[in-house]
Amino acid sequence: MSLAGEYDGANIFAKILRGEMPCVKIYEDEHVLAFMDIFPQSQGHCLVIPKDTTARNLIEFPANRLGLLFAAVQKLSKAVVKALNCDGVIVTQFNGAPAGQTVFHLHVHVIPRYANLPLQPHHGGKPADMAVLRDQAARIAAAL
């Protein structure tokens, strides 16, 4: 999918925001929702998505809302580091299919890094164990 196009309200993140699909929630306020990635590249991989938008990517998102989104990303990143005692953290965001975007609702990945563990492929297998994701989400939420 290219950078230009129509927002698809049937995408998985839109469904999660409408309560039509479940997620393992970490944090929510009036601007964002943070939840666990069910195909994690690392233990504790989570996502932050803005609410009330049809922006498919960063390029389409209103500049006046970027501060709120990235304040939440920073808050979540700090909590991930504190809760999971990781050695580093990747904060990344993709725009368009050629860049690696697979869900076309703006989202930011927060991926903990551990010195001796390689990153796993995204969507490289079956979904993670939900009990493990719930435990990680509870630990991260407690660190907020």
Question: What positions carry a catalytic annotation?
Answer: 107
Distance CA 101, CA 128 (A): 20
Q: Give residue 123's Cα distance to chain centre.
A: 14
Distance CA 6, CA 104 (A): 10
**Inter-residue contact 54 to 7 (CB < 8 Å):** yes
Distance CA 129, CA 31 (A): 28
Q: Which amino acid is at 8?
A: D
* DSSP 8-state code for residue 37: -
Distance CA 91, CA 44 (A): 13
Three-state secondary structure call for residue 114: coil
